[in-house]
């Protein structure tokens, strides 16, 4: 059986190669089933001490660390910064990010599914909405996995959230997540028809313990 091809969308202040490292355990867990392809966001993020990076277990820059922090959009247009909790009228940079995904699908696709983490998971929900509204004919994702996802608090993004998305989805979040508290991830569930849920007792990371394997595998085997 050919492995499923999944496009991976990193979190804010990460990039494709740092996210590849941080999902090493997941790649190993699902190596027989999934080929993961990693994309970097088009926008460079300025380092600012006031912003909390989306770190996995506090892993900071190091070998293959987040030396080139990137983001999919900014909630503060002036400061070119992002916070999931920030309510804003409009954002900056989303269109360029959609274009980057469209190009990746054209050049590296097709993909069976799409996986996002944190800001990347919020972006995945938007991409699925564009697909279902038939606004992105290149997109043909059959499933979505959203880890530590949330609904964007930006007013111009509310168009992505109704009606509920039909795409099969697995929503993964940590009960001790301090960056995206689990109630924010739960709020996103209403935007999906029949969402599947995997909770774990940890924080802001992609869980890949052997106990989680059956949930991932049961979800993925529908598409094999």
Active site residue 177: yes
Between CA 97 and CA 155 the distance in angstroms is: 18
The Cβ of residue 88 has, within 10 Å, a number of other Cβ atoms equal to 18
Q: Which of 65, 43, 42 is nearest to 54 (CA)?
A: 65
* DSSP letter string, 175-212: TT-SSS-HHHHHHHHTTBSS-EEEEESS-SS----GGG
Q: Which residue has the tokens 């190669």?
A: 17
Q: Of residues 40, 177, 185, 191, which has the active-site annotation? A: 177
Structural contact between residues 94 and 73, judged by C-beta atoms closer than 8 angstroms: yes
Active site residue 83: no
Between CA 112 and CA 142 the distance in angstroms is: 5
Rg, Å, the chain Cα set: 16
Q: Of residues 81, 97, 118, 129, which has the active-site annotation? A: 118
**Residues with catalytic function:** 118, 177, 204
């Amino acid at each position: 059986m050919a492995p499923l091809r999944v496009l991976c969308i990193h979190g804010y202040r990460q990039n494709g190669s740092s996210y590849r490292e941080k999902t090493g355990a997941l790649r190993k867990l699902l190596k027989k089933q999934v080929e993961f392809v990693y994309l970097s966001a088009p926008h460079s993020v300025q380092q600012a001490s006031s912003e909390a990076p989306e770190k996995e277990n506090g892993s900071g820059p190091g070998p293959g660390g987040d030396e080139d922090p990137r983001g999919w959009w900014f909630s503060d247009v002036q400061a070119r910064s992002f916070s999931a909790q920030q309510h804003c009228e409009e954002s900056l940079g989303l269109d360029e990010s959609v274009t980057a995904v469209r190009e990746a699908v054209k050049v590296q696709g097709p993909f069976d599914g799409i996986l996002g983490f944190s800001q990347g998971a919020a972006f995945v929900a938007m991409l699925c909405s564009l697909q279902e509204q038939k606004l992105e004919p290149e997109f043909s994702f059959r499933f979505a996995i959203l880890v530590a996802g949330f609904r964007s608090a930006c007013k111009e993004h509310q168009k992505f959230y109704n009606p509920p998305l039909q795409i099969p989805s697995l929503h993964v979040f940590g009960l001790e997540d301090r960056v995206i508290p689990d109630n924010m991830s739960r709020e996103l569930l209403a935007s999906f028809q029949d969402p599947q849920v995997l909770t774990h007792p940890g924080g802001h990371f992609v869980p890949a313990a052997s106990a989680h394997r059956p949930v991932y595998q049961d979800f993925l085997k529908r598409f094999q």
